[in-house]
Each structure stands twice: as C-alpha cells, then as structure tokens.
Amino acid sequence: MEKSESAVAKLAQAAQATDNTENDESELPKVFDRTHLDDPRFEDYSKLLKPRPGADFSRVFPPKICSWAPCGTYPSPFKSNPERFNLGLSFVSDEETVLVDIIGHVTQPTASREFLRAGPREFISFHPKSVKAAIVTCGGLCPGINSVVREIYNTLHHLYGVEEIYGIPFGYRGFYSPDLEYIRLTDHNVSSIHHQGGSYLGSSRGGFDLKKIVDAIEDNNFNQVYIIGGDGTQRGALKIHDEVVRRKLKVSVVGIPKTIDNDIALIDKSFGFDTAVEEAQRAIRSAVVESKSAQNGIGLVKLMGRSSGYIAMYATLASHDVDICLIPEVSFILEGSCGLLEYIRSLLKRKGHCVIVVAEGAGMDLLKDEVDMSKRDASGNIKMPDIGLFLKDRIIAWFTEQVRMEITLKYIDPTYMIRSIPANASDCLMCGLLAQSAVHSAMAGRGGFTIGVINTQYSIIPMHELSSRGRIKVDVNSRMWHRVLATTEQPDFRA
C-alpha cells in the first residue's frame, strides 16, 4: 500500500512539474522548429490541407438529391426489421463526421475538413421497390473489382430488397452502344465472381460521351448509378452528376475510386493496392533467386506506377531484398561516378549480385527522345516507352562494352499478372465495406459523392473534392521514402 501511494505521489509531482513548464516556450522541443507548418515535409506527409481561396474550410458534405428533384422519406428496412441483420442497431446520423486532418501543431490551432461518415441511415430517400440501379467499371483492371460489384448487388438486393440491378458492359460506352446489352445481375451470376480476377462486367478506357450516357440513364429509368474507376473515371462521374442535376433527374451518381497505383488524393489507399504489393513480392523473390544463382547476377523487376511510385516503394519496403528502387518522382543518371551503372558495379564487387525495382514511369527524362506526345491511349494517357527494357539494354551494353565484365541479367515484368488476380483478404474486406457504404449513402438520398477511407473511417466525399486535386505522388521528403533509402542504402543517382 505504501509503495502504491509513493508511486501516486511521484506521478503527481511529475504532473505538477509539467504544468509549471507548460507555458515556457524555451522548454518546447526543438523538433517543432524543424517541422513547422510551412515545412513541406510536415504538410505533405501528414496530408494536412490548406483551404483553397474562397473555399469553406470546415464541413464538406455531398448534395442531397431532394435539393434538385422531389424525394420521399421512408423508414429504413433495418428500422422495421432490426432483428434480421442487427443493422438497425448501428445507424449512422448526419451529425457524425470524419476529420481529414488529424496531425496538428503544438504552437498553432488545428483546423480540419470534415466529411460525412458513411453507414446505414435511419431514413432513406428511395423506396427499394422503385430503385433501378446500374453498375459500371471503367479503366484498367485491378484486383477487387468483382468484389465491389458483387457486394453492391448483395447490399441492394439482400439488405434493401432492390429487384432491378444491371451491369453496364465494357465501361462508359456500354451505356449507349447498340451492340452491347445490359447484364441483369442475379444471385446466380454474381455469387462467385469475387473469386475471379478482372471485371465480370468488362472494362475499357475511353467511350465517354456525356449526352449519350445521361440520355441512356434517363431513357432506361436508372436512378442509382455506381461508377467504379480511377481519377479520370471519377472526373467523368462528376460531369454525369452535374448533367443529372441540370436535368433535375432523381438519380444518385456514386463513385468508387479504383487505381492499383494508389495515387488518388485524400483517401488512405485504394482497393487492390495491398494485393498488388503482395503479388509484387513474388516477382522480387524470383529476381533475388536468379541474381544470387549466377555470378554477377542482376535481377531487374518492373512494377506498375506511371506517375507515382507507391507500388515500387511499398514492395521494396516489404521485401527487404531490394538494392535499388527507382520511382518517377526521383530522377537519376546512368553514367558517371554518381550514376546508376557505377553503383551497380560496386554492388556486384561487394555482394556478387544486385536486385533493382523500377516503376514503369521512372526515368522518363532519359527516354524523352522516344516519347511521342501524339500517341495516347483511350484515356488520354501518353504511351510511354518501356523503362525496364531500356535499363536492361543499357546495363548489358555498359558492362559488355565499357567495363568488359560478364554479368547475367534477368528482367521480370509481372504487370499483367499482378493486376489480373483476385483480391487478397485485406482488399476483399475493403471492397465489401466500400460497396456497402456506397449503397447506404445512395439510399439515404445523397448524390455526386465518392466513397473512400479517410484515417481508417469510411467517408462520403463530394466528387469535386477528389476531381479537383488530380493524382498524388510519393513525397520524397517523407519518412516513408526515407525508410526506403535506409532499407536499400542506395545513394542519390543525380550529378
């Protein structure tokens, strides 16, 4: 008992000492001088947002459909029959919000944007029997697409009792192409699609024709449209929403962000990213085995990442076997004492082998003469030359012709293997919760929003908040990139 009282007394003394120095600026840790809010390292890594000029820097909510079209108010099916799924015990109100900015500064007041928290509402604006829903997937493939489609169907049909749910084939063009038919979704045809990679509905780039798409939505009486796709697709979804509002249609346009590169602003991560990083490990392990099994062996792995190096960065950190990680955000030179080639030679002399991971968008300044700005894919992306093949050829040529050193280089490109596999457990869970959150929010009468995870909470994000920000990139001043450098011990490959 005496020992316990003594411990309490010591804690009280410590607390008193803290109170006495609390207002003494000289006692503040010097670290705050180095991470002031103006320091880009603090802002970029913490995702701290600054308000745009004239923008409301507080609660940012998506519009309600009743603001432009007549809506009803109906009790949620979970309210009248809560025993069935117990969802009636977990309603979320419109008073619950999610903070975007959770890292503050000891010397300044903290302000944060707030988005609505996603989840089932007590009252809904669509009678389930009146709902006719459409689901469309656009852009490139990504693990988890089928999981999202299946869970949207299951939530609409099995939880809310919606009968008419259609899949739009092969992206935006599927809305209006006469040679493509809508797919009536049923328990039978979606029950096991989450075990398959790719998109059950089919996907494609391009095909965006605003008038034809909204005409099809209106002519077919769709009143909920779920659009799964990347940043370009979401910008298209915002245009569809704006046109729906202009025509005063009672239609909820819902976006679910999809990009395997994990480069969508605001959200913690996009579905499929964890699976991509996990699958990339197989390619890296193969490169390690190949490089160690040959004299002066080099394993070169190209991973996805046109504009950002998140997959390469996280795969490198997860593997602990990579010697060099090259991403689009960091330029590098090939030759010279500070160049990549000379460092590879030093690794071979020291270790006998070398493993390199390169994102597909890295080193484009070295290939600028080969980039044809007029050649673009259907989404408008510039068709980039293959940095993996370029590095392979240059490394072999340099060691053969200039160093006259025998090497064995194995080049591995797992791009299409990675993006076409089913989602892993982590992504499957995320896909299910994204889909459920999307349906709950649409049934509650919201429109023009995207569902995303912010600070681990599923949130209702107005579409314009994502569409106005563009793609994000790896912050090379962040702790995460510094962890990569500490793991690989690679130098700065710039003169």
Enzyme catalytic residues: 261
Token pair 């096991």: residue: 192
SS3 114: strand
Helix axis angle, 425-443 to 273-292, nearest 10°: 160
Residue 369 CB neighbours (<10 A): 6
Residue of 45, 4, 26 whose CA lies nearest to 473 = 45
Q: What is the DSSP annotation of 286-298?
A: HHHHHHHTSTTEE
End-to-end, the C-alpha distance of the chain in Å comes to 67
Q: Rounded to whole angstroms, what are the CA distances from 361 to 302, 355, 388, 482?
A: 10, 18, 10, 20
Find out whether 416 and 260 touch, Cβ atoms under 8 Å: no
Backbone angles phi, psi at 254, to 5 degrees: -120, 130
Find out whether 456 and 234 touch, Cβ atoms under 8 Å: no
| Greatest CA separation for the chain | 86
CA dihedral 335, 337, 338, 342 (to 10 degrees): 60
Q: CA-to-CA distance for 442 and 446, rounded, in angstroms? A: 5
Q: CA-to-CA distance for 133 and 119, rounded, in angstroms? A: 19
Find out whether 170 and 278 touch, Cβ atoms under 8 Å: no
Query: H or E element: which one contains 228?
Result: strand 224-229
Q: CA-to-CA distance for 167 and 222, rounded, in angstroms? A: 11
Q: CA-to-CA distance for 389 and 376, rounded, in angstroms? A: 20
Q: Rounded to whole angstroms, what are the CA distances from 147 to 85, 142, 197, 223?
A: 21, 11, 9, 22
